[in-house]
Structure 1
Amino acid sequence: MESLPRHASPPISAVIRRIPEDFWVDEIPVTEPNGEGEHLWVFVEKRSENTAELANRLARAAGIRKSAVSYAGRKDRHALTRQWFSLHMPGLPDPSIEQLAQAGLNVLRHARHTRKLRIGALRGNRFSLCLREVEGERSTLDQCLQAIAEHGVPNYFGEQRFGRAGGNLAGALAMFEGRTRPDRERRSLYLSAARSALFNAILAERVRTDCWNCLLPGEAVQLDGSGSFFVTDAVDGDLPQRLDAWDIHPSGALWGAGEPPSHDRAGALEREVASRFPDLAAGLRAAGMKQERRPLRVRPADLTWRWEDAAQSDLILEFTLPAGVFATAVLREIADYTDAAASAPTQRQEAAEQH
């Protein structure tokens, strides 16, 4: 996929994720456990570990199957994150905190609940990020951040969605061509990467033509905070006011079977972009994925910033994003950043190098 255009040139350059503590993520759940039920919810802090690996360790520590552990969303490996997991333990006693701690698990809270955690069952995430070795136009940084707080940023999927060196997207293409038959979890990752790549390409075209933050004729208009949408033939009536109030948003296709609901200018743009990637579009159709929508824009809530040092070389950013939105979509509009974690070896590579 081609590089993704920014809405505007970022005023600074910086390094992110020099250490995991530079990238704090706190999950905001839809609900809290009610204290009873056959599901044990545990709120865990993890460092430099991906969510699936931690779920497997929880299963081993509790003596249950991996399939009995669930979570609302995957979090970055190269970060310090806090999130809920649910363990299905009907008729079983709760494992002790000491037992979990001996397995290297930092459990901050735990309680029973009547239901399991399901993917997507979170309101969002609160981020606290440290940008190090900042260089550039500090004088225009405040103006940039204020504009983002007011007008938002393009809602790109982050590079994490595509795996290390884009491996998930390459895996999707191999799967679509019949060269591999991945297991259920890997297949889900590959399908997500393929849909995300097509969405990013559609959004990139809207950014290039300066229409990512406005409505087009034939737009599938998405309601704020909802997967619901309606298609408009003309941008008239109260639509411009609702758009300015962030009650509605322009949306892009999450590709699947059939045709996207957009038409006219908005629909023509989506279909033209999808035609550039026939293998991805055809593979998603054949996999039976549904046509869905994602807002083209997002606005970070409660955005604050401050310098950590007198030399103004380390910048602290804090903000909240809805579920499914990537912090790097915000960062890329603020800084031309280098991700120090991108060159860090994975645990599997480290193990291989030791043998």
Structure 2
Amino acid sequence: MTALPLAFGAPLLDAIIRSVPEDFQVDELPAFEASGEGEHLLLEIRKRGANTVAVAKRLAQWAGVAEMGVSYAGQKDRHAVTTQRFSVHLPKRVAPDLALLESDEIHVLASTWHNRKLQRGALAGNRFRLVLRQVQGERGAIDERLRTIAARGLPNWFGEQRFGRDGGNVPAALQMFAGRRMRRDQRSMLLSAARSALFNRVLAARVEQGCWDVALDGEVWVLDGSRSVFGPEPMNDALAERLAHFDIHPSGPLWGAGELRSTGKALELEQAALADEQALALRVGLEQAGLKQERRALRLRPASMQHAWLQDDALELSFALPPGCYATAVLHELGSVVEAQRP
């Protein structure tokens, strides 16, 4: 993300993160209450130093079911302490001893029955508690930048997780579009990376032009907290008020087949940002893969954002983000935050 522009001026700090897993804590915000009945055991699990897929495999072994019988709403970081839900399909409603799951990596916080399998994306968002260490930078300026982010929001970048190690997912997507065969799970990941790269290009152009959080002629709007879109329609006082109160956000394209919904200046900017040879190859590949045009909000406002200095060089941040939004977008607006080296 270091190549992406900044919305609020020059970087203010250098810091490290994930010195220990506890410095990166994520709690899933559930999207629904469990029904209390059914044949799917819903588990709330805190994991430390383990990735979501590994925990799902452990649950399948514990329950004696196929891996496809275990589901989760979203993947969480490995080098972190995270809380998330899993569902395990147990048609006979007989669960093995939960104590058998306990380890240094897995702790079961709660369990209950539910009448449906946990679907991907079935979460209301994520709450983060991050600790930056070895912070170098002027404290007053950092405080002010964080207050600005809390009040104004920030660009809704797709984070570096989408693009793989050293950003290799986009080149791999181009190879796939050129005819290289990929496994189904790889294909899905690479399609997402290609779409995300094109969205970030449009957002970068709007950040550079200072219009990522204001209306352009021909703007398409996204309702806050949903995927519902409307417009374009002429700007008026009612839309301006909704924009100011974060009820709606300007949007950018998630590429696929079909015409861009934007018009006027918004359309011109999107077309210009996606006109080079690589962008054209990604666009064609996504269209031929059968994806359809969709939209994503260009602006993000973290909820309940707070910060505190634990020491002169240790800064704690806490905030909540909607599904599909990245904590790295917040860190990007502060400066250079790199992961601590691990053995």
Fold in common (TM above 0.5) = yes
1:300 and 2:271 correspond: no
8 Å contact 1:57–1:103 — kept in the other structure?
Answer: no
More displaced stretch, 116-125 vs 228-237: 228-237
Aligned partner of 2:142 in structure 1 is: 141
Q: Give the unaligned 5+ runs of structure 2.
A: none
Q: Distance in 2 between matches of 1:218 and 1:104?
A: 50
Alpha-carbon distance, 1:169 to partner:
2.3
- Equivalent residue number for residue 283 of structure 1: 285
Deviations 1:174-226 (A, max 9, x none): 211111222x2222111111111111111001000100010111111111111
Counterpart CA distance in 2 for 1:42 and 1:220 is 39
Partner of 2:320: 320
Contact 1:5 1:204 in 2 (8 A): yes
Q: 2:89 maps to which residue?
A: 88
More deviation in 163-172 or 322-331? 163-172
| Kept in 2: contact 1:61–1:103 (CA 8 A) | no
Give the corresponding residue for 1:127: 128
Quick check: 1:12–1:138 contact (8 Å CA) kept in 2? no
Counterpart of 2:206, as a letter, is: R
What are the Cα deviations for residues 290-347 of structure 1, in whole angstroms up to 9, with x where unaligned? 21111101111111111112xx11011111111111001011112321222xx658xx
Query: What secondary structure does 2:56 align onto?
Result: helix
Match of residue 217 from structure 1: 217
Offset at 1:127?
A: 0.4
The alignment partner of 1:95 has SS state of coil
Q: Does the 8 Å CA contact 1:70/1:87 hold for their aligned counterparts?
A: yes
Q: 2:52 is aligned with what amino acid?
A: T
Hey, what's the Cα distance between the residues in 1 that align with 2:13 and 2:2? 23
User: Matches of 1:147 and 1:34 in 2, distance apart?
Assistant: 41
CA distance in structure 2 between the partners assigned to 1:65 and 1:103 by the alignment? 24
Deviation, 1:104, is 5.7
Q: Deviations over 1:267-288 (max 9, x none)?
A: 1211222222112111111111
Do the aligned residues in 1 keep the contact of 2:303 with 2:321 (CA within 8 Å)?
yes
- Secondary structure at the residue paired with 1:281? helix
SS in structure 1 of the partner of residue 179 of structure 2? coil
Cα distance in structure 1, aligned partners of 2:219 and 2:167:
30
Q: Aligned partners of 2:57, 2:167: CA distance in 1, in Å?
A: 24
1:194 aligns to 2:194 (yes or no): yes
2:342, 2:159 → 1: CA distance?
Answer: 18
Matched-pair contact (CA < 8 Å) for 2:47–2:105: no
Q: Distance in 2 between matches of 1:71 and 1:91?
A: 20
In structure 2, give the amino acid aligned to 1:299. Answer: R
1:3-152 matched pairs, under 5 angstroms: 3-8=3-8, 9-101=10-102, 105-152=106-153
When the two structures are superposed, what TM-score results if normalisation uses the length of structure 1?
0.91
Distance 1:20 1:315 in 2: 15
- Secondary structure (helix, strand or coil) at the match of 1:275 reads coil
Q: Find the aligned partners of 2:188 and 2:53 in 1 and give their Cα distance.
A: 13
Matches of 2:103 and 2:15, distance apart in 1: 38
User: How far apart are 1:156 and its partner, in Å?
Assistant: 0.2
CA distance in 1, matches of 2:198, 2:325: 16
Moved more, 33-42 or 167-176: 167-176
**TM-score when scaled to structure 2?**
0.94
* C-alpha distance 104-12 of structure 1, shift in aligned 2 (>3 A): closer
Alpha carbons 1:133, 1:313 under 8 Å: kept: yes
1:104/1:187 CA distance change after superposition, 3 Å: same
Match of 2:229 in 1: 229
In 2, the alpha carbon distance for the partners of 1:333 and 1:53 equals 32
- How do residues 239-254 of structure 1 correspond to structure 2 at under 5 angstroms? 239-254=239-254
Deviation at 1:289, TM superposition (A): 1.1
Q: Distance in 2 between matches of 1:78 and 1:161?
A: 17
Partners of 1:154 and 1:323 lie apart in 2 by 15
Amino acid at match of 1:197: A
Task: Give the stretch that moved more between structures: 266-275 or 278-287.
Answer: 266-275
Counterpart of 1:227, as a letter, is: R
Deviation, structure 1 residue 235? 2.0
In structure 1, list runs of 5 or more residues that go unmatched.
346-355
